Each structure stands twice: as structure tokens, then as C-alpha cells.
Amino acid sequence: MLLLSREQTRRVLFVLVAFHILIISASNYLVQLPFTILGLHTTWGAFSFPFVYLATDLTVRIFGQQAARSIIFKAMLPALLISYVMGVLFQQGSLQSLSALAELNSFVFRIAFASFAAYLIGQLMDIKVFAKLREAKQWWVAPAASTVIGNLVDTLVFFSIAFYASTDTFMAANWPEIALVDYAFKLAISVGLFLPAYGQLLRVLELRIIKQPEQQNVYSEALK
């Protein structure tokens, strides 16, 4: 069994922050790439963003709410900046010149800001719901409920801010349908694939990490 030292805990939390930034940045790029499946419009971002909820729920379960909130607050500003830069340089899947960064791209900025707002609100909602239900007898209740509610809030906030009356005529006309399909895909992926994966990871982590009072103090100190 493994007891994490303060330094090891810092490293784990650093990796989680980096993971959040990576997934958010990738998702903000992929959401610019719509495609059609079974006659329904969606984006590739629907397949990447659920990874964030898996990481957040495991963080709350193992380290507690404080650590999860700390990760969100540390990840959101770098993710906003990286998302904007990536969105400008690779707008609509085409590589642009560095000179594109010299002017504000309002379309990409809306996407980055929408992601910033949706990530903050959706993740905090996810943490709150998960924390309320984490003591349920069945381990899957908390991650399932938090994923359903968190993804719903995230999807509504993101698509309404990013694409309502957008300069992209396709997204402006189809964002409600894309948001609905996007949410459906997120739920299917999260519940069908990530929830079983969460259960397996949880068993492994709980076998290796002893959550004693002094260990919780180490977690708290590592966040400072």
C-alpha cells in the first residue's frame, strides 16, 4: 500500500492540472470541427471533454473537494490562453500564420471564453453534486449523477455563449441541435465507457492509497 508524501501529492496534482489544460485546449479546437452522424450534427469535442469529468470525480473521491477546486482554478486561465492561441493558429482545421495572433479573433475568443465559463460552472457543479452523493452505498451513484448534471450545465453554457448569433452561419443556425447531440454523445461515452473505467480505477487507487487523517493534512498542505 502507498502513502503519498507531500512532494508526491504535489506531483499528482500538477499532472491533474496539466491534464485538464490539455483536454480543455484539445476540446476547444475539436469543437470547431463539426461532422454529421446518422443525419445529426455534432462535433469531435464531444468525444474528448468527458475525460475531464473522469479526472475530477476521481480527484474528489481520493483527495477531496478542496483539491478538485484548486485544480479547476489553476487550470482555467492557462486553458483559456492556450485555447485561444490554438484556435487562432488552427482555425477551422487549417494552419494559419503567426501574424493571425496580432489581431483579436472574436470568433475564436468567444469559443475560448465560453469554454472558460462552461468549464468553471460545470466543474464546480460536478464537484458539488459528487460531494453530496459520495457516501451513497453504490459507488456509481455519485459519478453518474454528477456527470449527467455537470455535462448538462457545461453544454448549455458553452454552446449558448459560443455560437448564439455567431459569425459562423452554420454553427449559429445549428447550435441547439449540435448541443443536444453533443450532450447525448457525452452521456453515452461517460456512462457507457468512463463510468466502468472509473470503477476500476477507483478500486486500484483505494487499494494503494490509505486515506488516514494525517494523509489528508498532507493533501491540504500540498495545495498551498
**Which own/partner contact pairs does 176-181 have at CB distance under 8 Å and 24+ positions apart?**
177/40, 177/41, 178/34, 178/41, 178/42, 178/43, 179/155, 181/40, 181/41, 181/42, 181/46
Q: What is the DSSP letter of 100?
A: G
CB atoms within 10 A of CB 37: 9
User: Can you give the pLDDT at residue 198?
Assistant: 77
Q: Which three cell numbers stand for residue 213?
A: 487523517
| 24 and 79 Cβ atoms separated by less than 8 Å | yes
Domain residue spans in the chain? 6-219
pLDDT at 158: 92
- What does the pLDDT profile of the chain (224 residues) look like in tens digits? 445 677 877 888 888 899 999 998 888 888 878 888 878 878 888 888 888 888 888 778 777 888 889 989 999 999 999 989 988 888 877 788 889 899 999 988 998 899 899 999 999 999 999 888 988 888 889 888 998 999 999 999 999 999 999 988 988 998 998 899 889 988 888 888 878 887 887 777 666 654 544 445 554 555 55
CATH number of the domain located at residue range(s) 6-219 in this protein: 1.10.1760.20
Q: Nearest 5°: CA angle at 43, between 29 and 148? A: 105
Q: Can you give the pLDDT at residue 182?
A: 87
